[in-house]
Structure 1
Amino acid sequence: MQATTTESSQTDISAHEFLAFTLGKEEYGIHILKVQELRGYEAPTRIANAPAFIKGVVNLRGIIVPIVDMRIKFNLGTPTYDQFTVVIILNIAGRVMGMVVDSVSDVITLSPEQVKPAPEMGTALNTDHLIGLGTIDERMLILVDIDKLMSSAELGLMDAIAA
């Protein structure tokens, strides 16, 4: 019985660990459990007729991985690719995909008290993909629910591209 208590408390702790990354001037966070690995940016192979936010695909140890540029997806201006640009390799619903971000800073552990709900924006802005806002000292992280952000329609598109 003791082991079960320890395991569940470890799950609770890891459920609140977020990988912090930047897009433009803002800092975001995604659950660390969704992250498979971090890689430097390499130009992917373009796929004809793919939406602009899908940069293309890369071959990751024999697996074809679609790459999504989050600056384009979030409409944050023209992306630049330099030595700080990082591709976060994610495992979402059994699918492997890459997410291009400007940089990755660290892993942050947030207690439930440090996570505030996302503000209601009405119909002007869809906030369904936000877990909330994480605050630690003077930092504020926009916490993204990556499963909801990569909607099922987009995941279906990713499958078609990876095939």
Structure 2
Amino acid sequence: MTQATVVNQDAQRPGQLAPAEGAEQTGQAGQNEGIQCLTFSVANERFAVDILDIREIIEVGMMTSVPLAPDFVRGVVNLRGNVLPVIDLAVRLGRERQDIGKRTCIVVVEIRVAREDLSLGILVDEVNEILEIDPEHLQPPPKVGGRMRTDFIRAMGRVEDIFIVLLNMNHVLNRGDMEQLQELASFAEGSGLGPADE
């Protein structure tokens, strides 16, 4: 059985950076506010996702490959009876595929595409911690990218001497990618490719 860690979504949000494209805006959150995020490691680099985009964290259990899926799709898992596509974040960010280890896990996130909330899993090497990054330690994305597309980056955060890339999940996967993942999940469910047990 897949064990899950549920991230508490009832805690008050400490602040918001620029809202991710595709998300509906509420309130008057500004650029000068901090942000609370979950940090994790992928290919020996530190990344983060806004805590409000995260539904839960689950162990890597039985994962089924889907024929003709894009190279960044690792497979699908059964999450309480629903087929959940899992993307290999390292591959999507242009890094080499990482081996699954003891600390590898799946972070279940929710993104908004065409005003619809969609869930998917992102495979990460290790979950680190939940951090609140102060506004003075947040920087906008670089205008010129290095090893990663700049539209994937929501902000750069600094905690002590460590730089953390805050990802914009609404750009890491675009609408076309998500539509393809939905089709793959439907195909997997209809073909019985998804695991039978949770």
Q: TM-score, normalised by structure 1?
A: 0.87
In structure 2, what is the equivalent of residue 3 of structure 1?
Answer: none
Per the TM alignment, residue 37 of structure 1 is displaced from its structure 2 partner at its CA by 0.6
Of all paired residues, the percent bearing the same amino acid is 24
Per the TM alignment, residue 132 of structure 1 is displaced from its structure 2 partner at its CA by 1.6
Moved more, 71-80 or 20-29: 71-80
2:137 to 95, 106, 114: 114
> Take 2:82 and 2:41, find their aligned partners in 1: how far apart are those partners?
27
In structure 1, what is the equivalent of residue 48 of structure 2?
Answer: 29
In structure 2, what is the equivalent of residue 19 of structure 1?
Answer: 38
Moved more, 70-79 or 152-161: 70-79
Q: Unpaired runs of 5+ in structure 2?
A: 1-11, 17-34, 187-198
In structure 1, what is the equivalent of residue 183 of structure 2?
Answer: 160
Given that 1:67 and 1:99 are in contact with CA atoms closer than 8 Å, whether structure 2 keeps it comes out as yes
Given that 1:40 and 1:83 are in contact with CA atoms closer than 8 Å, whether structure 2 keeps it comes out as no
Moved more, 38-47 or 57-66: 38-47
Query: Helix, strand or coil for the counterpart of 2:184?
Result: helix
- The Cα offsets for residues 110-146 of structure 1, whole Å up to 9 and x where unpaired, read as 1222111122216996301211210011111011011
Given that 2:77 and 2:86 are in contact with CA atoms closer than 8 Å, whether structure 1 keeps it comes out as yes
Q: Aligned AA for 1:150? A: L
Q: Unpaired runs of 5+ in structure 1?
A: 1-9
> Take 1:33 and 1:131, find their aligned partners in 2: how far apart are those partners?
14
> Take 2:51 and 2:148, find their aligned partners in 1: how far apart are those partners?
26
Q: TM-score, normalised by structure 2?
A: 0.72
Query: Helix, strand or coil for the counterpart of 1:19?
Result: strand
Given that 1:86 and 1:103 are in contact with CA atoms closer than 8 Å, whether structure 2 keeps it comes out as yes
Given that 2:93 and 2:148 are in contact with CA atoms closer than 8 Å, whether structure 1 keeps it comes out as no
1:85 to 98, 104, 108: 104
The count of corresponding residues between Structure 1 and Structure 2 is: 153
1:39 to 47, 55, 58: 58
1:56 to 75, 83, 88: 75
Given that 1:39 and 1:89 are in contact with CA atoms closer than 8 Å, whether structure 2 keeps it comes out as yes
